[in-house]
Amino acid sequence: MDYFPLFLDARQLRCLVVGAGEVAARKLELILKTPATITVVAPWACDTVKRLAQSDQVTLIERVFEDTDLDHKDMVFVATDSGEVNQHVHDLARAQNVLVNVVDNTPLCQFITPSIVDRSPIVIAMSSGGVAPVLLRYLRQKLETVLPTNISRLGNFSEKFREKVKQTLSTVTARRYFWEDVLDGDIAELVEKGQEDKADTAFLKALEAAAQEKKEQGSVYLVGAGPGDADLLTFRALRLMQKADVVVYDRLVSPEILELVRRDAEKIYVGKAKSNHTLPQEDINQLMVDEAKKGNRVVRLKGGDPYIFGRGGEEIETLISQGVEFQVVPGVTAANGAASYAGIPLTHRDHAQSVVFATGHLKNNTIDLNWPALAHDNQTLVFYMGLTGLSIICNKLIEHGLSPTTPIALVQSATTENQRVLTATLETIVEHPETASMKPPTLIIVGSVVSLHSKLDWFTPASDD
């Protein structure tokens, strides 16, 4: 993040605009949405600037820039057609610790103005750091269509009762839960429809009820984070992640997905790799119970789907035994994600009429599976956590009847920019020169559907270059 996003208090902001053409007019019009005092200096002014300068906030000085114009200023926009003047004002501003923006010259910008969706007092600002203005404009248009025009009413309503709620409810968590219930419920609907008297009455009644209640036990949400690509999250998963007080996550949850968690939520890493557990499973189970009993909303964020080789059932059994409320939010399991992004359909009329998910996790150097049931043609096999036991898996399948030439695929870091796909056969994959470089998490797909990979492959991970 090259630019740190923030909102400046403009109530006493003193702003200078150097230049008075149409480019400067756009900046002037933007600043006039705030209560800042503005000085415009230029030897001439376009009609738009002259019209905007009729505001009491604006002082227009029609002459060339002088160094003293920068005195007692907090911010300066430079929008002249002279590169020499632009550079001079920039250098002078930096020397005097005045925030400076040279319009359309990113290297000379100490700050940049974002793309803004204005529903004051709700304001959304977005930036691409100057590298993708068209994309930014596209995203702003999307937001404009999604956000209700009258959401400003909710902002004003929240401001009106903010102090009263703060005085009535003693803890931050209690206040946040209360506001979430308000904004998700009928009171918000009344506000948005302009029925403020009814909304006020309902709000005060709800606040009184919240003040009389004892702090309730929290809940646990077992949430599937999918195979890695943040775009594969469900809407419900995203909504709960943004409401969580505590997020307990494992090593298969990608950094891009963690970025979507509520900023002030406590994030607890409990990742498990082979023979390297940050916390034993029993401790993870108890951690969720303890946090819920403190009154927190706990999201247990698990890669893939919680109920497919995610130990979700074990965790839920603990919650039930200790009387903790819970919900389960399914996710795209790693098998589906890996197959889809690798161009390998798990079922196909000409190749496989069934699919089996199995664990390849070794215990005492063996894999206790029903090999005769697995070694069938016209069936797709997907092995989770099987990279270490790859040779055993291949040998057992051949031993129990699958052809040595049966296609097999290794899919590493599926759906992410680090995805790798390696294909071979049961008899050649172990000795393949690239197999040794494959790292967990890697799924193994076995069956004739793998032969479709070269034809159906569509996903191109980001280049390392």
Q: Which two tokens stand for residue 6?
A: 């923030």
Closest CA to 325 of 306, 303, 297: 297
Residue pair 63/41 in contact (Cβ under 8 Å)? The answer is yes
Give φ, ψ of 162 to 5 degrees.
-55, -50
- Catalytic residue chosen out of the listed positions 243, 267, 272, 294: 272
The four Cα atoms 435, 441, 447, 451 give a dihedral, to 10 degrees, of: -60
Q: Is the peptide bond before 121 cis (omega within 30 degrees of 0)?
A: yes
- Catalytic residue chosen out of the listed positions 69, 229, 245, 250: 250
Measured distance between the N- and C-terminal CA atoms of the chain, rounded to whole angstroms: 20
Number of helices and strands (H, E) in the chain?
Answer: 16, 19
Q: How far apart are CA 231 and CA 114, in angstroms?
A: 24
From residue 62, alpha-carbon distances to 19, 21, 39, 41, 50 in Å are 10, 12, 11, 6, 10
Among all chains, which residue has been given the structure tokens 């219930």?
Answer: 181
Backbone dihedral region for residue 460 (phi beyond 0: left; psi -120 to 50: alpha; all else: beta): beta
Q: How far apart are CA 332 and CA 232, in angstroms?
A: 7
- The H or E element that residue 351 is part of is none
Backbone dihedral region for residue 379 (phi beyond 0: left; psi -120 to 50: alpha; all else: beta): beta
From residue 236, alpha-carbon distances to 188, 239, 241, 268, 453 in Å are 20, 5, 9, 21, 32
Helices 196-212, 172-184: crossing angle, 10 deg rounding: 140
Q: Which two tokens stand for residue 180?
A: 């979430």
Q: How far apart are CA 74 and CA 53, in angstroms?
A: 19
* 272 labelled catalytic: yes
* 197 labelled catalytic: no
The b/e string for 394-432 (b: 16+ C-beta within 10 A; e otherwise) is bebbbeeebeeebbbbbbbbbbbeebbbbbbbbeebbeb
Residues identified as active-site: 250, 272
